[in-house]
Amino acid sequence: MTIRTSALSLALALPLLALAPAIANANPSAAAVSVAPYAPITVAEVEAAQLAWGDALVAISTEYERNGRDAAKTLAGKVLDAAYAYDMGPVLFKPTLAAAPNTFRTTRDGALAYFVGGDSRFPADSGFALKGWRAYKIENAGIVITGNSAISMGNVHLTDAKGNVTVVDKTWGYVRGADGKLRIVLHHSSLPYAGK
Amino acid sequence: MTIRTSALSLALALPLLALAPAIANANPSAAAVSVAPYAPITVAEVEAAQLAWGDALVAISTEYERNGRDAAKTLAGKVLDAAYAYDMGPVLFKPTLAAAPNTFRTTRDGALAYFVGGDSRFPADSGFALKGWRAYKIENAGIVITGNSAISMGNVHLTDAKGNVTVVDKTWGYVRGADGKLRIVLHHSSLPYAGK
Amino acid sequence: MTIRTSALSLALALPLLALAPAIANANPSAAAVSVAPYAPITVAEVEAAQLAWGDALVAISTEYERNGRDAAKTLAGKVLDAAYAYDMGPVLFKPTLAAAPNTFRTTRDGALAYFVGGDSRFPADSGFALKGWRAYKIENAGIVITGNSAISMGNVHLTDAKGNVTVVDKTWGYVRGADGKLRIVLHHSSLPYAGK
Amino acid sequence: MTIRTSALSLALALPLLALAPAIANANPSAAAVSVAPYAPITVAEVEAAQLAWGDALVAISTEYERNGRDAAKTLAGKVLDAAYAYDMGPVLFKPTLAAAPNTFRTTRDGALAYFVGGDSRFPADSGFALKGWRAYKIENAGIVITGNSAISMGNVHLTDAKGNVTVVDKTWGYVRGADGKLRIVLHHSSLPYAGK
């Protein structure tokens, strides 16, 4: 079980730093490759990628509040390029609050619209990453490594600026990018079943 | 996109036949291995496994109505052994109607309880496979093959005996069993986001 | 670099014990699976499989001297089933001393003939495993893990009963069997280039 | 079985053209990725990579004769970057005519020295690719696809300018590069066993 509970003040201060290494290596041609793309994925790498995702979500929220939507959108684009595998092919992404006819976001544009809104092709998107997220906690029900790909399932707890906590059922799938870093190729997020 | 729309009468007649080959090969030591476990997975295999899952769901519902709960449970157990990878390790399974504290069913017992109910350790389970399913339709948003594993995401439409249709957002992950046949190692199902 | 230098007396005493666990798990249906077949391969597993191969070679030589050719052939068959992937599909095997028209031994029969001879379909085979091997040393130039498969390359030094040492250039490729244990799916062995 | 027998005149004319596409895509950042790096490898891709290797060998010989050693070395470097995986990690390469202490060429420098010579660190290398190769034929004993990696084994027949034919026992292992193209991560080549 991977748990990171960030105190609010820490969450405000740290995420941009935590995100920096991922962004710095987002350009494969500039990065020294320390891990071959064909190498097996480790549980530690999956856990680190999960923390990077949580850090990035808080970072985008923080950037939005400090520097506005354009800045947040720029950061979200960098996060998508560093954390998701849209440059490698389609990504299977079902965001928490997405519904038909835009339930599935297999393209980078669709993912960016979900996180920061403002795209007329996805009119229902109000920007999930702009909702004042301050902290997160990840509880894995399981991580399964399938050679040089991996999947995880569990709960993610998201805390906003008012202290409200949203819990989601979360599945991620990972492959390696050309720089050897994990990329999300699968992301299914859903609100818990509320009963009948 | 994979779509199978079964007329009700066909659905009642065919599923047990359709299921038979999968069950017949459930015992690796008895099966002639035509595909090596390390072989790449094909899109056609993923689509066939999806249809086998839909057929099996209808078959369990039909068996329940004809022969009762014990018979349905026996069939569901065979289906789990043929279609899921519980004999290979933990399976990451988040069923549509499961909630805390039993959201995730990483063991065969948890999966069986979800499909046919009757397990005191999972008191909220009323038996999803017993709900009179008659037909199904699968619409893939995407299938991604990652070497000798694979993932798919899309919608599954389930039609019950009264003609009511339930739509779910569905993610499946597959690996190969010792008999070379695909096994579900990941299954995240959720009701569509209903808006605020 | 993996090196095991066995004193002769130890080599005579230990191999059968060392081999026992591998043979005991050769039947997938009888074995408790501790590692899923889709799991990544580790360097430690590759090194262990290399030592198991060396142990087995010495064990077959020893069995031949103590109990004759039939006993050696029986043991060699068990070794092939435990260490090679012939039950999963063709194995790419180019033995050290094999030449046209039987250079490549993609079937179990061809491999068995190479190790113990006595097969009229492979008349040049005198039984490589019967040549009085007493000890071995493995020096890897490199081990590369490619997800849930792996390859290694290096030298193997084989010492016979007279103390003569044969060095071969050796490549092995590994996959996982249904029991989670490594199986050789590739084996290219050749005498060092002697110059012009 | 993959066989390409080139008439000498064709071999002289075509190789540089045949090589061009591979070299053009050697820079991942410039290439449109049509195949994801995690995608399964196909038999057709392995056969194409084998032909590209043979074409490149003939091309380097031809370049050497027309434009001298420096030009041949430049081309050989491009071939190595396009066809081998040295930029992804160590490559397990045992060339046909290499012996101790330089039997294994796990680095690009070692491979380049083998093909074109002229490196004081590898004094025995006279340049294998400079030996007047005109045509080649590849006969696979088997190709095994292990997810998103692959291995092949068989014979390669090389014909020089005088019509002399050299046959080698050849094993190749492949992974995908960042550009989706196959790269050789394993290469074990040896002269056939000549008998005692």
Cross-chain Cβ contact C33/B87 below 8 Å:
yes
- How high does pLDDT run on average in chain B? 86
Residues of chain A contacting residue B195, judged by C-beta atoms under 8 Å apart: 99, 124
List Cβ neighbours of A48 (8 Å cut-off, separation of 6 or more).
Answer: A182
Q: State the pLDDT at residue A29.
A: 39
Q: State the pLDDT at residue B125.
A: 97
* 3-class DSSP state of D166: strand
Tell me whether 0.90 is exceeded by the ipTM: no
Distance CA A118, CA A123 (A): 8
Cross-chain Cβ contact D40/B41 below 8 Å:
yes
Determine contact: B30 vs chain C, CB below 8 A.
Answer: no
Over range A19-26, report the average pLDDT: 32
Q: At residue B58, what is the residue type?
A: V
- DSSP bridge partners of C160: C133
Stretches where chain B sits below pLDDT 70 are 1-33, 196
* Nearest Cα residue in chain D from C194: D99
Could you say which of A37, A149, A185 has the minimum Cβ distance to residue D178?
Answer: A37
State the pLDDT confidence band at A151, using cuts at 50, 70 and 90: very high
Domain C39-190 fold:
Nuclear Transport Factor 2; Chain: A, (3.10.450)
Cross-chain Cβ contact B33/C88 below 8 Å:
yes
Distance CA C61, CA C11 (A): 11
CB atoms within 10 A of CB C175: 26
CA distance D114 to chain C (A): 14
Q: State the pLDDT at residue B30.
A: 36
Residues of chain D contacting residue A176, judged by C-beta atoms under 8 Å apart: 37-38
Cross-chain Cβ contact C171/D186 below 8 Å:
yes
CA distance B46 to chain D (A): 14
Cross-chain Cβ contact D176/A89 below 8 Å:
no
CA distance B174 to chain D (A): 13
Distance CA B13, CA B138 (A): 19
Could you say which of C29, C33, C147 has the minimum Cβ distance to residue B147?
Answer: C147
Q: State the pLDDT at residue A74.
A: 98
Phi, psi of D45 (to 5 degrees): -65, -40
The angle, 0 to 180 degrees and rounded to 10, between the axes of the packed helices C15-24 and C43-83 is 80
- Best C146, C155, C174 residue to mutate vs chain D (most D CBs within 10 Å): C146
CA distance C88 to chain B (A): 5
Distances from the Cα of C14 to the Cα of A72, B30, C6, C135, angstroms: 65, 35, 10, 11
Distance CA A112, CA A134 (A): 20
Determine contact: B149 vs chain A, CB below 8 A.
Answer: yes
Least confident segment among A70-74, A146-150, C33-37, C192-196? C33-37
List Cβ neighbours of B134 (8 Å cut-off, separation of 6 or more).
Answer: B6, B8, B11, B12, B58, B61, B159, B160, B161
Quote the longest CA-to-CA distance of chain D.
53
Distance CA B179, CA D35 (A): 29
Q: State the pLDDT at residue D18.
A: 33
CA distance C14 to chain D (A): 31
Q: State the pLDDT at residue D112.
A: 98
* 3-class DSSP state of C49: helix
State the pLDDT confidence band at A127, using cuts at 50, 70 and 90: very high
List Cβ neighbours of C9 (8 Å cut-off, separation of 6 or more).
Answer: none
- How high does pLDDT run on average in chain C? 86
CB atoms within 10 A of CB C167: 15
Confirm if C174 and C146 have CB atoms less than 8 A apart. no
Determine contact: A41 vs chain D, CB below 8 A.
Answer: no
Give tens-digit pLDDT for D44-76: 999 999 999 999 999 999 999 999 999 999 999
Phi, psi of B115 (to 5 degrees): -80, -35
Q: State the pLDDT at residue A196.
A: 65
Cross-chain Cβ contact A36/D89 below 8 Å:
yes
CA torsion, ordered B52, B54, B60, B63, to nearest 10 deg: -90
Asked whether residue C22 carries a pLDDT value surpassing 50, the answer given is no
Distances from the Cα of C65 to the Cα of B111, C15, C60, D114, angstroms: 55, 14, 9, 43
Asked whether residue C86 carries a pLDDT value surpassing 50, the answer given is yes
* Nearest Cα residue in chain A from C175: A147
Asked whether residue D180 carries a pLDDT value surpassing 60, the answer given is yes
The total number of residues shown for chain B amounts to 196
Least confident segment among A5-9, B190-194, C64-68, C171-175? A5-9
Picking from A130, A135, A159, the residue whose alpha carbon sits closest to that of residue A66 is: A130
Q: State the pLDDT at residue D196.
A: 65
* Nearest Cα residue in chain D from B175: D147
Confirm if A187 and A93 have CB atoms less than 8 A apart. yes
Peptide bond into B37 cis (omega under 30): no
Residues of chain A contacting residue C41, judged by C-beta atoms under 8 Å apart: 40
Determine contact: C153 vs chain D, CB below 8 A.
Answer: yes
Phi, psi of C169 (to 5 degrees): -85, 125
Determine contact: B144 vs chain A, CB below 8 A.
Answer: yes
Tokens 């260490």 sit at which residue?
Answer: C83
Could you say which of B38, B146, B149 has the minimum Cβ distance to residue D146?
Answer: B38
Determine contact: A142 vs chain C, CB below 8 A.
Answer: no
CA torsion, ordered A114, A115, A120, A121, to nearest 10 deg: -30
Tokens 């010792």 sit at which residue?
Answer: B178
And the tokens for A39?
């190498």
> Which segments of D33-173 does DSSP mark as H helices, in order?
43-83, 108-116
Could you say which of D29, D88, D148 has the minimum Cβ distance to residue A33?
Answer: D88
DSSP symbol at D131: S
80-139 in chain D: CB under 8 A from chain A: 85, 87-89
Q: Which class for D196: exposed (0-12), middle (13-18), buried (19 or more C-beta within 10 A)?
A: exposed
Residues of chain B contacting residue D42, judged by C-beta atoms under 8 Å apart: 40
What is the spatial order of strands in the sheet that C182-190 belongs to? C92-94, C182-190, C165-176, C149-160, C133-146
- Best D38, D84, D88, D108 residue to mutate vs chain A (most A CBs within 10 Å): D38
Contacts 24+ apart (CB under 8 A), D114-123: D115/D60, D115/D76, D115/D79, D115/D80, D116/D60, D116/D64, D116/D69, D116/D72, D116/D73, D116/D76, D118/D69, D118/D73
Least confident segment among B78-92, C25-39, C80-94? C25-39
| DSSP string for C73-96 | HHHHHHHHHHHB-TTTS--EEE-T
CB atoms within 10 A of CB D24: 11
And the tokens for C62?
């020893």
CA distance B104 to chain A (A): 7
And the tokens for D60?
């380097």
Picking from B150, B183, B153, B182, the residue whose alpha carbon sits closest to that of residue B168 is: B153
Phi, psi of B143 (to 5 degrees): -125, 130
> Which segments of B40-107 does DSSP mark as H helices, in order?
43-83
Residues of chain D contacting residue A40, judged by C-beta atoms under 8 Å apart: none
Distances from the Cα of C10 to the Cα of C14, C56, C136, angstroms: 6, 14, 12
Could you say which of C39, C149, C178 has the minimum Cβ distance to residue B178?
Answer: C178
CB atoms within 10 A of CB B9: 9
User: CB-side exposure of C165: number of CA atoms within 13 Å?
Assistant: 10
And the tokens for C154?
């290096």
**Annotated domain spans of chain B:** 39-190
Distance CA B129, CA B171 (A): 18
Q: State the pLDDT at residue C31.
A: 38
Confirm if D86 and D108 have CB atoms less than 8 A apart. yes
Distance CA D187, CA C124 (A): 27
Cross-chain Cβ contact C89/B185 below 8 Å:
no
Cross-chain Cβ contact B40/D38 below 8 Å:
no
State the pLDDT confidence band at C34, using cuts at 50, 70 and 90: confident
* Nearest Cα residue in chain C from D102: C141
